[in-house]
Chains A and B, each alone.
Chain A
Amino acid sequence: MSIKIGKKTYAERIQAGIDNAFMRQAVSSAQGRFRSGRLKAAEDLGDWEEWRTRGEEIRSHTMENLDYYLHQLSEQVEKRGGTVYFAKTAEEANQYVQKIAREKEAKKVVKSKSMVTEEIGLNEALEESGCEVVESDLGEWILQLDEDPPSHIVTPALHKNKEQIRETFAEKKGYTGSDQPEALAAFAREQLRQDFLSADIGVTGCNFAVAESGAVTLVTNEGNARMVTSLPDTHISVMGMERIVPTWEELEVVVSLLTRAAVGQKLTSYITALTGTRLESEVDGPEDFHLVIVDNGRSKILGTEFQSALHCIRCAACINACPVYRHVGGHSYGSIYPGPIGAVLTPLLDGYEDHKDLPYASTLCAACTEACPVKIPLHEHLIRHREIIVERENMGSKAEGVMMKGYAKWASTSAAYKLSTKMAHTALKPWTEDDYISNGPGPLKGWTDSRDFPAPARQSFRSWYKQREKRRNDG
């Protein structure tokens, strides 16, 4: 996979999303649960705004000093017997992991959930070099069996129902049980246990690396990441270069924010901090550890007005709060990063050409900004993207450009504006019935296809006001 998923146009994807009744029902109910979970967790904790401030300060300090902290991290990992590979591009990262797999003569690679490996297409790269790759997160495993991309960054198979999952298990793995979630999960447990035990390499992402000690922290609920890092002899962790904190004291804060904002838990079942290789006296854990630090377009964001997009801790709170996501689902974004953060991040990482519609997939209601536990001004980033799309990339539609030039003239002198308020009622009269327009011309059509538009008043406010003043002065 890569950042971009699918070949459909934006309009086609949106329509497919809107037409997918099950998905929409699932997303809407998930959003409700995520939202109440997040709000309750924040309330239980108390002082949520202060926690957010602390989170923002941690993330912005770390980003401002990213070179320093990555250097420190790499020194610490080396000290603890690990190898660090700095990869500028997805290709470099994949080639390095392929090289390790070749050296280990690895046949089976077992993975825990990781967005960055989705982003760089690591699975495909490993499969090309002859490895069997097994995703072990329940949601990811379902998607892998079904060859479907994730639609959410925390619950990737949100768009699938249990009947579809049962069918997939039956078809691909010979499952004969019911569609009860517990039965499906028990089947996954039994199947994947064998994979954990027989894998040559375990691949994980990294929620947060801790610079001071060289630890890679994984935040999970299912226990698969612990399997992946305890049983195979080699552990490769792939991290986006921004996923780092200075010390354990900062780790504690961002983890507390992440688990609450993501799933409303105080802590997830497993927060696992892994440092280097296992010690000589230890029996389980990897004897060989590699940390792959990936740029893949991130450094271009540093030093720009979008820098705070790198503060993201991938909790999906913005996705869960977004009313647009609610109605169109994750696949509509055409990116492995959906929702508001996806609409901000995707054009930055993968360019505007394929993703120029994403910044407009928002009403700018700012529910995302309000939900973000590290205070990323997501809706402001979306506005800035729109400015770049129009002014720098020149990708705005011609008609809109002409209209906006007209707008500027109209709104910059009171004379033109006044005239239009006078004319509006008459101009739209042919379409008006009972003071409403239900089948409007030109740009109004998009509106009136689904709702009525109030006809301009016979007399504008300003002309009423003028008359009133006149009456008063005369009287």
Chain B
Amino acid sequence: MRVSLFITCLCDTLTPDVGKDTVQLLERFGCEVDFPQGQTCCGQPAYNSGYVKESKQAMKQMIRAFEDSEYVVGPSGSCVHMLKEYPKVLHDEPEWKERAEALVHKTYELSQFLVDVLDVKDVGSTFQGKATYHPSCHMTRLLGVKDAPRILLENVKGLEIIDLPLKEDCCGFGGTFAVKNAAVSEQMVHEKAEHISETKAEYLIGGDMGCLMNMGGRLRRNDEDVKVLHIAQVLNSQ
């Protein structure tokens, strides 16, 4: 099975290790992973800020980059959801819309791909420690991926998952919201960080780098000793 990795710009620049783990994880299950070098950013920062014209340029670049892929898999619910929105955004450009639809049909978020396509429930990894999981908003509410991460994490040996209070509440990231509405974002991430601390977990696990970066940044500012991990890092841990 040929899988093209959609790395997302955040992982590419800030947390390349997540990409490495994703590649290794997919390879472990027999996927032939490639990395189309033409890929950039999914367009979400511009699209969600109202700069739709600008976002379309990014979207078209992404469509071109993944045109020849069999499957496209990314370690982010939010960015994958953005790809799924392309046909709607490009609705008045029939040719691009059609190409966008082709992309939608072959694109998956990492945990979703493992569970739904590869039919894996236990990746056979071992990770010692107590962790809590933040189900990010776009992954669960927009992409509809609710169970896959939970199923995979439950089967990691040595890992104890502690339920995060009010876990479905947004962490306050919201892309440009974190900067534009910094004061509100601060309150939201502060509340989230408090809930994380309450769990007494050693690790915070999530499936979206944006949210993890937000929560992790606050935890670090609060001098909390909680390590932040992307789910790919946990699942690839031996």
Contacts and interface: CB of A to CB of B under 8 A. Distances in A.
Asked if A and B form a direct contact in the complex, defined as CB atoms under 8 angstroms apart, the reply is yes
Contacts of B46: 404, 407-408, 411
B174 A410 contact: no
A361 B181 contact: yes
A438 B221 CA distance: 8
B179 interface: yes
Interface of A is mostly: helix
B227 interface: no
Contact of B174 (A328, A364, A453): A364
B35 A465 contact: yes
Interface stretch (A271-279, A284-292, A442-450): A442-450
Interface in A419-468: 420-421, 424, 436, 438, 443-444, 446-447, 449-457, 459-462, 464-466
Contacts of A418: 37
A461 B20 contact: yes
A230 interface: no
Nearest to B5: A465
A391 B61 contact: no
B178 A408 contact: no
7 contacts: A14-B183, A361-B184, A363-B172, A364-B137, A408-B57, A456-B13, A459-B16
Interface in B1-38: 7, 9, 11-17, 19-20, 23, 35, 37-38
Contact of A450 (B58, B174, B185): B185
A48 to B, nearest CB: 15
A418 to B, nearest CB: 8
Interface in A229-249: none
B162 interface: no
Contacts of A175: none
A366 B54 contact: no
Interface stretch (B102-110, B153-161, B209-217): B209-217
Interface of B: 7, 9, 11-17, 19-20, 23, 35, 37-41, 43, 45-55, 57-58, 60-61, 65, 137-138, 141-142, 168-170, 172-175, 177-191, 213-214, 216-218, 220-221
A461 B45 contact: no
Given A327-B187, A450-B221, A451-B221, A412 B57 contact: yes
B22 to A, nearest CB: 9
3 closest residue pairs by CB, A with B: A363-B174, A386-B50, A451-B217
Nearest to B42: A411
A68 interface: no
A113 to B, nearest CB: 29
Nearest to A434: B220
A328 B217 CA distance: 22
B80 to A, nearest CB: 15
B141 A411 contact: no
Given A18-B183, A411-B9, A436-B217, 4 more contacts: A387-B50, A414-B38, A424-B13, A438-B221
B179 A461 contact: no
B173 to A, nearest CB: 7
A323 B184 CA distance: 9
A388 B50 contact: yes
Contacts, number: 206
Contacts of A464: 16, 19-20
Given A417-B40, A465-B19, A365 B54 contact: no
A383 B186 contact: no
Interface centre among A15, A323, A409, A420 (most CB of B within 10 A): A323
Contact of B12 (A11, A365, A421, A436): A421
Interface of B is mostly: helix
B13 A460 contact: yes
A117 interface: no
Contacts of A459: 16
B74 to A, nearest CB: 12
B187 A18 contact: yes
A438 B174 CA distance: 20
A404 B51 contact: yes
Nearest to B228: A454
Contacts of B142: 366
Contacts of A390: 49-52
Contacts of B12: 421, 460-462
B228 to A, nearest CB: 9
Contact of B50 (A391, A421, A452): A391
Contacts of B49: 386, 390, 396, 400, 404
B61 A367 contact: no
Contact of A411 (B57, B137, B191): B57
Contact of A389 (B20, B41, B50, B170): B50
A370 interface: yes
Contacts of A447: 178-179, 182, 217
A360 interface: yes
Interface centre among A323, A328, A360, A451 (most CB of B within 10 A): A451
A370 B170 CA distance: 13
B137 A367 contact: yes
A324 interface: yes
